[in-house]
Amino acid sequence: MLKELQVAHCPSCGKVYQKNLRNLCRECSSRLDNQLSAIDRYLAGNRFADTASLSARTGVPVKTIHSFIRSRKLCIQHYPNLTTACESCSGPTREGKLCTSCTKRLTMDIHSMLEQEQALRQRSRDTSSFQIRHSSY
C-alpha cells in the first residue's frame, strides 16, 4: 500500500514540501537554523546588543528576529536590549504582542466600549419599560 504523501506549502518561502514536524521546507528550516546559531554566536559576546545591531551584524532580517522572539526560539530574558515589534504600532516591546502604551490604550478602549455598551443597554431598557408602561394604559 502506498503511504499518502503529506505535502503543504512552506509558510516561509511558499514552496511545496513534504510535511514535517517543523512545518517548514528543508531549505527554510536549515536557513532558520543557521540564522539562529548566528544570532546565538553574536549574542554570546554581545549581551547588550539591540535588535537593529543584531540584525546588522548577523544579516538576519529584523522581522525574522522578531519571529524568533515571539516563537520563543530566542529567549530575550538575558538580553536587556532585544525587543520585538508591537502588533499594533510596531513600536518596540519586550513583553507579549503589544507594547505598554498600546496595552494601556486598548484597556482604556475596552473600558470605554463597555461603558458605552452599558449606557446603551440602560437606555434601551428605559425605552422598552416606557413602551410597556405606555401600552398597558
- Enumerate residues 45-84 that contact Zn ion by CB under 5 A: none
Question: Rounded to the nearest whole angstrom, what is the least distance from the CB of residue 67 to Zn ion in the complex?
Answer: 14
What gap in Å lies between CA 113 and CA 1, rounded to an integer?
59
Q: Cell numbers 513583553 label which residue? A: 95
Q: Which stretch binds Zn ion (CB under 5 A): 1-9, 70-78, 97-105, 120-128?
A: 97-105
Min dist CB 120 to Zn ion, Å, is: 29
- Cβ proximity to Zn ion: between 111 and 121 the closer is 111
28 binds Zn ion (CB under 5 A): yes
3-state secondary structure of 130: helix
Q: How many positions of this chain bind Zn ion (CB under 5 A)?
A: 11
Cα distances (Å, whole numbers) of residue 19 to 6, 71, 92: 5, 20, 34
Select the residue interacting with Zn ion from 8, 81, 88, 92 (CB under 5 A).
Answer: 88
Please report the sign of the dihedral spanned by the C-alpha atoms of residue 119, residue 122, residue 128, residue 131: negative
Burial class (CB in 10 A: 0-12, 13-18, 19+), 99: buried
Query: Would you count residue 85 as binding Zn ion (CB under 5 A)?
Result: no
Which listed residue (68, 83, 89, 132) binds Zn ion by CB under 5 A?
89
Query: 536557513: which residue's cell?
Result: 31
Report the interface residues with Zn ion, using CB under 5 A.
10, 12-13, 25, 28, 86, 88-89, 91, 99, 102
